[in-house]
Amino acid sequence: MVNPFFKNNGPFKISELLKTLNIKDDGIDLNIEIHDINDLLNSKENEITFFHSKKYRNLANKTKASFCITFENLKIDLPKTCTPLIVENVLLSTSILTEKFYPSSINDEFDNSVKHIEETNYQKKTNFGKNVLIGDNVSIGSNCFIGHNSIIEKNVIIGSNCSIGSNVIIRNSLIHNNVKILDNCVIGKHGFGFFPKKDNNLRYPHIGIVIIEENCEIGCSSTIDRGSMSNTVVGKNTYLDNQIHIAHNVKIGKNSIIAGQVGIAGSSILGENVKIGGQAGISGHLKIGNNVEIGGGSGVIKDIPDNSKVMGYPAKNFRDFLKENR
Amino acid sequence: MVNPFFKNNGPFKISELLKTLNIKDDGIDLNIEIHDINDLLNSKENEITFFHSKKYRNLANKTKASFCITFENLKIDLPKTCTPLIVENVLLSTSILTEKFYPSSINDEFDNSVKHIEETNYQKKTNFGKNVLIGDNVSIGSNCFIGHNSIIEKNVIIGSNCSIGSNVIIRNSLIHNNVKILDNCVIGKHGFGFFPKKDNNLRYPHIGIVIIEENCEIGCSSTIDRGSMSNTVVGKNTYLDNQIHIAHNVKIGKNSIIAGQVGIAGSSILGENVKIGGQAGISGHLKIGNNVEIGGGSGVIKDIPDNSKVMGYPAKNFRDFLKENR
Amino acid sequence: MVNPFFKNNGPFKISELLKTLNIKDDGIDLNIEIHDINDLLNSKENEITFFHSKKYRNLANKTKASFCITFENLKIDLPKTCTPLIVENVLLSTSILTEKFYPSSINDEFDNSVKHIEETNYQKKTNFGKNVLIGDNVSIGSNCFIGHNSIIEKNVIIGSNCSIGSNVIIRNSLIHNNVKILDNCVIGKHGFGFFPKKDNNLRYPHIGIVIIEENCEIGCSSTIDRGSMSNTVVGKNTYLDNQIHIAHNVKIGKNSIIAGQVGIAGSSILGENVKIGGQAGISGHLKIGNNVEIGGGSGVIKDIPDNSKVMGYPAKNFRDFLKENR
């Protein structure tokens, strides 16, 4: 799929990519053209992918990528159709190539393509407040409301019957039908991802987007960061209260309810019908099952199976929490 | 009292209301006109109220409402002047009737009545920044300051000597004298209240408002939601730090001090002279006494009597907390 | 140093200051002119300082101030060149004199000196969005970006290669080179400091500023308050995620990483290379060493030595936390 938000500067010859990564070209056909960089699951022939942890062995087995940035000890899990490129730091090398393909995904300067909505086609089709700014190639469905001072940056797609509050900023996002995004939200900025480096950290590119499925409500002053390689997703009919922070790559299932000031760290995956009490926090890279209830104030630091109710810091079985705190 | 923020579409004949709720009309005079819907305490003759929990028996006893939406097992607590209307889900039925009386209280689209302050009467009376927007029927006292990009929506009342920061949004609120509301606050949006419904939750109406009494300060980027049936109130001379979230129907007594990033869930009632440390959370529907101190980071999940000092998650007696964590 | 943000209304004769504080003039030369008020470390001859806790005895010993507001029992620690002024409430008296020297530091009304950037010299030198407001005497380096609706108040200094997002408010701040401040931040408002007083708290002046050193990133919707007497400082190459609150006088060392929704209470000092997980909180007036790691959700209520790893509420040794929560 063509990424509508970040321009792909490829294709690049594999010889150029090897040079960028400072890798020797042992028996590789240097004329092969590489069209894109993608994750193990979604990459195709003539694309490059990355594989940095045993955890993803099952995906590595089946990847269709022609090349894979990986470690020496992981290369045996790749199919024969995929040539391993051995590096010292897989994520860093991946970041460097991603930036090569998508240089505009590193920085989030303000969108200077925006115009006042009165100067666009949307002035007749949309209900809008004062000082609304709309970027190039934005698409807005019928019967939408956009409040005062809100900014919809370039290429954003908004469905029908959506209501965007005032002082909202949306970029790099796909908003489905019947979504409400309340005042002061910031949706779609790059995530908090970088390689710590003395005196000058190295940001890594974020080519993922934010997808908010239909019938969602996002409370005031919430922030939802876009994904790095995959997307950040809020499932259908999920409601978020105020001051919530959803980090990059998080996926939240449908019909979930998340109370105020909750934070979900990067890359965690939540099932459907999850209920989270106020101020709870969920660490990164966790899997939270379907129908899970997490008590207010909890700190979740490990996976939670389906149909569980937990509370505490660290979060544990709800009855155990009550018993210990009688 | 006439609600200045939401237009009452009543009166309705009781026959129409019964039909809306799908209730049989056993011996009720179908011509009675119902003027309003209100809580047990405040409703009057020819109004309808609701009673959904034994906890409110003492109020139910004395209600002056002519009709009350309730459960079969609660109706014995109503006075003879109040006819019970038995339903399966009291809150849902109440929500449906509230929406019938106050259809505009469901959605919070931006206020399209606003004008640039330069086009209003306040341009001579108020100290204002750039791009300040003022809705219809707003009232602002003398010697007020309103910062850049702030939005005061229709019918809001602001006292004298108030200072509103920049990028602030105020709606459905009554702000008394000498109040400071710092930058980026959102005051008066509807609360996080709805009936979960598969694939399409049902929002419930919020006809309450936010009242901020005199001499208060509300820190940057805080959110205070308006009430559903009652009001959200911040008492006189109470100071809130930055990034605080106050949910619907919360009442905070006077002379209280609330540090940064605290969250107070819906319908909790706090006494006077309460001190709350940073990042503490208070669950919904609790009663916190006068002169209570709550340590930073605490999670309060039950009522706290007057003059107590608590800390911990869940919050307990402060000395016990210290002893256990020596 | 001349404070570029708050005008010093001095000098005042010591006789006038004694009168303001209601102190008798036992043998003091009433004609001495006092030029400024400052902390123990930084005050000079013909300035006045304050000393309110034994904790600062080592600084009191060496102060160069000519006068010092203090308690009877602390005065023996002052050098002979410094005349003690004995009061009942040192901080309150200090606040009163600070306000006398710097009356404009009490209130944070919006800056009415701002102009649209198109009307300033920066329109040719800076990349800017719509509706950007710039106050008097602002200094902006080369190659900066300032997003839509952002407000840079008077006297703020921004280095080169900085990127300010949209809807940002910056006042009383010094931003070094290569700093990114993302959308919706509020930087430089006065801290949450006041003397509780029945029905009408007394705010104390904040004459400190915010300093953000080079290569920092400040995440969306964060708030950084300026200092009261000293400054609030974010060290070089320190990255803050979204929705973080940094209170007045906090100092954060260089190369630190602070995840989303963290809060740091007033006057705490953090070392270099500190890592803090999401939603952690740090109480006020603490000292956190170099190379400290604080787990997500932790509540830190005492000092932490260099090279420690802690987690929990209250935060303890990381291994102990894991052991107790197996």
Indicate if the pLDDT at residue A17 is higher than 60. Answer: yes
Q: pLDDT, tens digit, for every residue of B7-40?
A: 999 999 999 999 999 998 778 889 999 999 999 9
Instruction: Say which amino acid occupies A326.
Output: R
B270-291 confidence digits (pLDDT tens): 999 999 999 999 999 999 999 9
Are B97 and B131 in a shared domain? no
* pLDDT, tens only, B211-267: 999 999 999 999 999 999 899 999 999 999 999 999 999 999 999 999 999 999 999
Residue C7: inside a domain = no
How many CA atoms lie within 13 Å of B242's alpha carbon, on the beta-carbon side?
32
Which comes out higher in pLDDT, residue C164 or C123? C164
B297 within domain boundaries: yes
Question: Band of the pLDDT at A326, cuts 50, 70, 90?
Answer: confident
Q: Average model confidence (pLDDT) for chain B? A: 95
Rounded to 10°, the helix C90-101/C14-21 angle is: 130
The position carrying tokens 């790691």 is C293
pLDDT tens, residue by residue, B123-142: 889 999 999 999 999 999 99
C247 plus C161 within the same structural domain: yes
Residue B229 vs residue C192, higher pLDDT = C192
Residues C50 and C158 occupy one common structural domain? no
Taking residues C85-110, what's their average pLDDT? 93
Average pLDDT in the A280-288 region? 97
CA distance C215 to C181: 11
Residues A43 and A140 in one domain: no
Long-range contacts of residues C133-142, Cβ cutoff 8 Å, at least 24 apart: C133/B129, C133/B130, C133/B148, C135/C111, C135/C171, C137/C4, C141/C177
pLDDT of the residue at C1: 52
H or E stretch at A138: none
Q: Find the CB nearest A199 among C163, C221, C255.
A: C255
Min Cα distance A322 → chain B (Å) is 9
- For residues B187 and B312, state if they share a domain: yes
Q: Quote the pLDDT of residue A107.
A: 79
pLDDT band (50, 70, 90) for residue A4: confident
* AA letter at B312: G
Question: Is the pLDDT assigned to residue A303 strictly greater than 60?
Answer: yes
Number of H helices, E strands in chain C: 4, 37
- What type of residue is B322? L
Residue numbers of A between 283 and 302 with CB closer than 8 Å to B: 296-297
Tokens of C275: 């890592």
pLDDT grade for C110, boundaries at 50, 70 and 90: very high
Contact flag B221-C225 (C-beta cutoff 8 Å): no
Domain end marker among A105, A140, A159: A105
Mean pLDDT to the nearest integer, B66-73: 97
Q: Which residues of A touch C241 (CB under 8 A)?
A: 192, 245, 247
The question of whether A248 is a catalytic residue gets the answer yes
For the segment A130-166, what is each residue's pLDDT rounded down to a tens digit?
999 999 999 999 999 999 999 999 999 999 999 999 9
Of B131, B223, B245, the CB nearest to A131: B131
Output the domain CATH number for residue B169: 2.160.10.10
**Does residue B44 form part of some domain?**
yes
E strand segments, C133-207: 133-134, 139-140, 145-146, 151-152, 157-158, 163-164, 169-170, 173-175, 180-181, 186-187, 194-195, 202-203
* Residue C6 is assigned to a structural domain of this protein: no
Q: Is residue C171 part of a domain?
A: yes
| pLDDT for residue A25 is more than 90 | no
| Same structural domain, C124 and C222 | yes
Distance CA B163, CA C181 (A): 26
> B324 in contact with A at a CB cutoff of 8 Å?
no
pLDDT in tens, C148-190: 999 999 999 999 999 999 999 999 999 999 999 999 999 999 9
**Confidence band, pLDDT 50/70/90 cuts, at residue A2:** low
pTM for this entry: 0.96
> For chain B, what is the domain count?
2
Residues of chain B neighbouring C221 (CB-CB closer than 8 A)? 184, 221
**What ipTM goes with this model?**
0.94
* Whether residue C178 sits in one domain with residue C307: yes
Say which DSSP state A19 is in.
H
Q: Is A247 on the interface with C (CB under 8 A)?
A: yes
Examine the pLDDT at C222 and tell me if it is beyond 90: yes
Residue A158, min C-alpha distance to chain C (Å): 20
Residue C119 and residue C37 in one domain? no
Residues above pLDDT 70, as percent of chain B: 99
Query: What is the structure's pLDDT at A1?
Result: 52
Q: Give the pairing of strands A293-294 and C139-140.
A: unpaired
Same domain, B94 and B159: no
pLDDT band at C115; cut points 50, 70, 90: very high
Enumerate the residues of chain B whose CB falls inside 8 A of the CB of residue C276. Answer: none
Give C224-272 pLDDT, tens digit per residue.
999 998 899 999 999 999 999 999 999 999 999 999 999 999 999 999 9
| Interatomic CA distance for residues A224 and A247, integer angstroms | 6
Q: Residue C43 sits in a domain of what CATH number? A: 3.40.1390.10
Residue C130, chain A, CB below 8 Å: the answer is yes
Taking CB atoms and an 8 Å limit, are B242 and C243 in contact across chains?
no
Residue C192 domain-assigned (yes or no) = yes
Residues B160 and B208 in one domain: yes
What residues contact A165, with CB distance under 8 A and at least 6 apart? A147, A150, A180, A181, A182, A183, A184, A185, A220, B108, B110, B189
Is the residue at C55 inside a domain? yes
What pLDDT does residue C291 have? Answer: 98
Q: Do A99 and A143 sit in the same domain of this protein?
A: no
**Mean pLDDT value across chain C:** 95
Q: Are residues B318 and B178 in the same domain?
A: yes
Name every chain C residue with its beta carbon within 8 A of the beta carbon of A114: 129-130, 148
Domain range for C130? 115-324
Last residue of a domain, one of A105, A124, A152: A105
Closest C-alpha among B102, B128, B129 to residue B226: B102
Of the candidate ranges B30-34, B106-110, B186-190, C30-34, the one whose mean pLDDT is the lowest: B106-110
Boundary residue ending a domain (B49, B71, B105): B105
b/e map of C279-314 (b: 16 or more CB within 10 Å)?
Answer: bbbbbbebebbbbbbbbbbbbbbeebeeebbbbbbb
Residue B7 lies in a domain: no
> Across the interface, do A184 and B169 touch by the CB < 8 Å criterion?
yes
Residues from chain C that touch B129, judged by Cβ atoms under 8 A, are 110-112, 114, 133
Determine the residue among A169, A225, A249 to mutate to test chain C binding: the one whose Cβ has the most chain C Cβ atoms within 10 Å: A169
pLDDT of residue C54: 92
**Mean per-residue pLDDT for A39-56?**
94
Query: Above 90 in pLDDT, residue A69?
Result: yes
Q: A188-232: per-residue pLDDT in tens?
A: 999 999 999 999 999 989 999 999 999 999 999 999 999 998 899
Instruction: Report chain A's mean pLDDT, rounded to a whole number.
Output: 95
